[in-house]
Structure 1
């Protein structure tokens, strides 16, 4: 068995289990190189706090979960006999060492992790429009700590691979997995889309949610997404957009909502045209929703600034820089 051990800890990224699943879903090419690839990534991109985060996870007590809920707003693990107050206090103290918690919510044995984002709201907007995930292989690009990956597994996906280079999100995923158990076909890899082998052409469904506007070349990102999908596979693309007609694109000078790495924010019509230009078919804009300060906000589990701090206090329809306030769209498309 190959397991990628994280320094000083029994917690691992179980690559052996993942590779077995990948080999049954047409991903042998990636499975063959993944162990060495991950070793190289972890060695080349060390994070100074990773050992501390992993040490906290390693202290989490083992609790039997009688009930696991993956298809409810809050990813939940609960026991028939609730843990003692002392055990709950210990768990909460350790989980808070993984601050900030941005994607969720979670409820782990009665500890409610109220994350910055109500990620369930996004899922509720996206889910009615996608091809049912039962039996499908799924890739989630920029998955954060894996909240939506668990929701995908809850809908019956046979393989869910989330990729995100932020190692804090990996630590949070491992903490959640500690309580949900190892039996789920959900895996998070600490890498970006640029680390995925070219022309896999294997996944049934690929999600890219909240990623496109961070890419310097959005067209290249769309081609990268297409290369991961089998012919006839489905792309679920969720991103910031602006109101406007075909051809309109906002290219912020400097920051957008205090974010440095925002490059292109197209109108939905423009983005649909980009997808068609890249060879996608059946392109549909299925949702447009402004982001509210109730969906993204500071909480007891995320103490930093959030959306309310990014908006003009005198005109919340604009960002603090004067750009249109966040509007998010979801598009569905088929890979040729």
Structure 2
């Protein structure tokens, strides 16, 4: 008798039940219906080949009670009064390592510290002082990765946070935190920006950090972001920039810092003009920071090449391709 291997199923309906109920209560049954179609395709009709491995890793994490979470410090932290047993600690480590590579963080799961590739807390430290009060706001985080910044937004008082990122591994890294917290109004949807309904107008604050330069049409991305916001809503945009006058934009010939999917790196003044032309007001640059190998680097939890490997060893201020090294600007603007 031949045994046919089956792909473990992911109960996405239960996972997103509370979010769907909230969206329906907000008068968005159309979005719920669209999400049901998209998620059914991703998990039931065309599951990712690594889905069984990620589900197994998630199932390996030990069941624990009395868990507390801290979202207002640099490290997103889970803790409890009782120490983990040796077997529980071993299962925890094994499950978390089954979800490698970890790129955005850092996280601490009890006594296990995940030193992620990116010091995402540094970005939050640069952005947070310039934000409008997030308390009682509905927030969208576009390109959220593992959801590190979603947890920081929730810790800052957001009423509900929705992150979107098509990378399924990021979803299961996010769920490794959420599984210990019960029903909290923070969700990560494995969809793309273009999968959202047009002119959604559902969010008080929308973040797009580290996304714009990956878009073939940055103007279309800005218009999509604008469409997610309610009137008076705030856009928080962080992207790679280059020095230069208004109108100057760098388009790499092929790769930028070994990344193929980098299209447009504007000057700050050009970026502000793009925002003005797409209908935002009060756009202002609140931070410009050079990205260093201390902020983005290989670790025991992300063992592939990282920024240091993508810079010219003879001149670390330039990429291997000879372009100016990565510099990131944060811009805040308002939808009229």
TM-score, normalising length: structure 2:
0.94
TM superposition shift of 1:97: 1.0
Asked if the contact 1:200/1:228 (under 8 Å) is kept, the reply is yes
TM superposition shift of 1:295: 0.5
Asked if the contact 1:297/1:306 (under 8 Å) is kept, the reply is yes
32-41 or 85-94, larger mean C-alpha shift: 32-41
Tell me the secondary structure at the aligned position of residue 118 of structure 2. coil
Which residue does the alignment assign to 1:159?
Answer: 160
TM superposition shift of 1:201: 1.1
Which residue does the alignment assign to 1:110?
Answer: 111
Tell me the secondary structure at the aligned position of residue 276 of structure 1. helix
TM superposition shift of 1:7: 2.9
CA distance in 2, matches of 1:141, 1:261: 17
Aligned pair count reads 330
TM superposition shift of 1:211: 0.3
Alignment of 1:63-142 (within 5 A): 63-142=64-143
CA distance in 1, matches of 2:46, 2:12: 19
Which residue does the alignment assign to 2:304?
Answer: 304
Asked if the contact 1:280/1:335 (under 8 Å) is kept, the reply is yes
Which residue does the alignment assign to 2:335?
Answer: 335
Alignment of 1:220-299 (within 5 A): 220-299=220-299
Where does the alignment leave 5 or more consecutive residues of structure 1 unmatched? 1-5
CA distance in 1, matches of 2:105, 2:322: 29
Would the alpha carbon gap of residues 236 and 280 (structure 1) be closer, same or farther in structure 2, given more than 3 Å must change?
same
Which residue does the alignment assign to 1:326?
Answer: 326
Which residue does the alignment assign to 2:3?
Answer: none
Which residue does the alignment assign to 2:35?
Answer: 34
CA distance in 1, matches of 2:331, 2:45: 35
CA distance in 1, matches of 2:225, 2:111: 38
TM superposition shift of 1:23: 3.4
80-89 or 39-48, larger mean C-alpha shift: 39-48
Tell me the secondary structure at the aligned position of residue 29 of structure 1. helix
CA distance in 1, matches of 2:227, 2:274: 15
Would the alpha carbon gap of residues 75 and 171 (structure 1) be closer, same or farther in structure 2, given more than 3 Å must change?
same
CA distance in 2, matches of 1:26, 1:204: 16
Tell me the secondary structure at the aligned position of residue 123 of structure 1. helix
Question: What whole-Å deviation, never above 9, does each CA across 1:131-158 have from its counterpart, x for those lacking one?
Answer: 1111000011000010000111111111
Where does the alignment leave 5 or more consecutive residues of structure 2 unmatched? 1-6
77-86 or 98-107, larger mean C-alpha shift: 77-86
Tell me the secondary structure at the aligned position of residue 308 of structure 1. helix
23-32 or 288-297, larger mean C-alpha shift: 23-32
Asked if the contact 2:57/2:94 (under 8 Å) is kept, the reply is no
TM superposition shift of 1:85: 2.0
Question: What whole-Å deviation, never above 9, does each CA across 1:194-216 have from its counterpart, x for those lacking one?
Answer: 10010111210000000000000
CA distance in 1, matches of 2:190, 2:300: 26
TM superposition shift of 1:84: 1.1
Which residue does the alignment assign to 1:211?
Answer: 211
Asked if the contact 2:143/2:210 (under 8 Å) is kept, the reply is yes
CA distance in 2, matches of 1:23, 1:228: 17
Asked if the contact 1:291/1:327 (under 8 Å) is kept, the reply is yes
Tell me the secondary structure at the aligned position of residue 333 of structure 2. strand
Would the alpha carbon gap of residues 28 and 35 (structure 1) be closer, same or farther in structure 2, given more than 3 Å must change?
same
Question: What whole-Å deviation, never above 9, does each CA across 1:308-327 have from its counterpart, x for those lacking one?
Answer: 00100000000010000000
CA distance in 2, matches of 1:122, 1:326: 14
Asked if the contact 2:60/2:94 (under 8 Å) is kept, the reply is no
CA distance in 1, matches of 2:16, 2:9: 18
TM-score, normalising length: structure 1:
0.94
Tell me the secondary structure at the aligned position of residue 329 of structure 1. strand
Asked if the contact 1:105/1:119 (under 8 Å) is kept, the reply is yes
